[in-house]
Chains A and B, each alone.
Chain A
Amino acid sequence: MSVDERLLIEKAKKGDRSAFDKLTELYIEKAYSIAYRYTGNEGDTRDIVQEAFYKVYVNLHRYNPKFPFSAWFFRILVNSSINYAKRQRRKRFIFQEGNPKSDINPIDVTADTENNPEKKYINKEIHQLIQRGLKLLPEKQRSAIILFDFEGFSQQEVAVILKCPQGSVMSRLFYGRRKLRKFLEKYL
């Protein structure tokens, strides 16, 4: 955590709203990205991010400066996302019957796609499939995959955010990926 960030947190704790706004600006991209992985659509993502920032604002006095602010913030965000997904699951049936089987090799899409429209399209299709597969995973495995694979946190950081041992993170990643692989095999 940088010195500036620490100062902003201290000011925000004392009621400085502009300091909190600056904190919001610092974290908004990452927060949006994580929430988007959970929901897969813009509207729900906006709701989750708003709710998470409000919770952070209200509970800022509970934050312990001994631990990194980012871990505390992302834990709130992940919990908000999980709760939101649960609520939505009760309301509607998430899984939609989808794409027909295609001949895409999953390893090919890791190549550079910037100048190749075909690969760009394939990449988009893969992304949608992964997004749908993620929704079928248990919450713990999904969170581990989103934070480690999508967002690039280290295993130690994921363990702190999810409040679990590092071994559990690795185990969740393994089983989550295995389930995801089974799902993707139906379509790829």
Chain B
Amino acid sequence: MKCEYVLKKMYSESISVRAKQEIDEHIAGCSYCQGQIESSENVGELIRAQRLNPPAIPDRSAFLHEIRQYRAKRHHNWRRISDFLPLEPAYRRIAFIGAACCVLLFAFLLLSVPVIEENAPVAIDDNEDIEYYLQEHALAQETDLFGHGAFSRTFIGLNYTTEPKIKYPNYNN
């Protein structure tokens, strides 16, 4: 078994019990692997010695004040409005963003509704509506054999009677 592979798999939790046993046996008899583990422990000890001298905070109370100031500064913009909401702070921002989204949606809907002129012709029934449309689009003249316009032929499909308006001679009689 190669030493680097052993060291790589040494701490793996996904290996079998047998593989783990083999790794332990290898380490017990291999000076290189033992040396690597020992040197790692030595570096650990060296670093742990530094634990005795943790970095001290220069002017602790001033730093605490700075933290408060920083928090207040970052929070300043949205806090004033959201403080009026009768909610826990945890939900204030969500409620504030939700309300802002609702206002934007309402404004969008308001602007997207078409404005209807007062003097615009208003259709009384379906037929008038269709006629108005045909006139507007100059489709009234494009009639087919049955006397229907392109619009009604394409979109509406109404007034198609079984009897054609043009009478063809009956040659069977």
Assess the A60–B51 pair: CB atoms within 8 A. Answer: no
Closest residue of A by beta carbon distance from B15: A167
Q: Contact at B11–A174, with CB atoms within 8 Å?
A: yes
Report the stretch among B39-47, B97-105, B130-138, B143-151 that lies at the interface: B39-47
Asked if residues B67 and A49 are in contact (CB atoms below 8 Å), the reply is yes
The stretch of B87-95, B109-117, B161-169 that contacts the partner chain: B87-95
Interface size on A, residues (CB 8 A): 49
Task: Determine if A68 is an interface residue (Cβ-Cβ < 8 Å).
Answer: no
Instruction: Name A1-33 residues within 8 Å CB distance of B.
Output: 13-15, 21, 24-25, 28-29, 32-33
Per-residue contact bits, chain A 145-161, to B (CB 8 Å; 1 contact, 0 not): 10011111000000000
A123 proximal to B (CB < 8 A): yes
A171 touches B54 (CB 8 A): no
Q: Determine the distance from Cα of A152 to Cα of B50 in the docked complex, in whole angstroms.
A: 11
Say yes or no: is B71 at the interface (Cβ < 8 Å to chain A).
yes
Question: Shortest Cβ distance from A126 into chain B, in angstroms?
Answer: 7
Interface flag for A127 (CB, 8 Å): yes
Min distance, Cβ A18 to any Cβ of chain B, angstroms: 10
Given A61-B90, A150-B50, is A36 in contact with B45 using a C-beta cutoff of 8 Å? no
Interface of B is mostly: helix
Main secondary structure of the interface of A (DSSP, over half): helix
Residues of A within 8 A of B70 (CB): 50, 53-54
Question: Which A-chain residue is minimally distant from B74 (CB atoms)?
Answer: A54
**With A33-B55, A177-B40 in contact, is A109–B49 under 8 Å at CB?**
yes
B60 near A149 (CB under 8 angstroms)?
Answer: no
Closest to B69 in A: A50
Q: Which of A163-188 contact B (CB under 8 A)?
A: 165-168, 170-171, 173-174, 177-178, 180-181, 184
Give A74 to B2 CA distance when docked, in angstroms. Answer: 38
Instruction: Give the CA-CA distance A168 to B9 in the complex, in Å.
Output: 10
Residue B36 at the chain A interface, CB threshold 8 Å: yes
Least CB distance, B120 to chain A, in whole angstroms = 53
Interface: B63 (CB within 8 A):
yes
User: CB-CB < 8 A to B42: which residues of A?
Assistant: 106-107, 181
- Near B by CB (< 8 A), chain A positions 113-128 give 123, 126-127
Residue A57, interface by CB 8 Å = yes
Contact call A145/B47, Cβ cutoff below 8 A: yes
Residue of A nearest to B90 (CB): A61
Q: Are A184 and B57 touching (Cβ within 8 A)?
A: no
Residues 77-136 (chain A) with a chain B CB within 8 angstroms: 106-107, 109-110, 123, 126-127, 130
Give bound CA distance, A11 to B33, whole Å: 53
Is B80 an interface position by the 8 A CB rule? Answer: no
Task: Give the one of B11, B39, B40, B42 with max A CB within 10 A.
Answer: B11
| Known contacts A171-B12, A174-B11; is-contact A110 B71 (Cβ 8 Å) | no
Contact B55 A13 (CB under 8 A): no
Chain A residues, Cβ within 8 Å of B47: 130, 145, 149-150, 177, 180
Whether the pair A21, B50 counts as a contact (CB closer than 8 A) is no
By CB atoms of chain B within 10 A, which of A50, A151, A184 has the most? A50
Given A33-B55, A150-B47, A181-B40 contact (CB < 8 Å): yes
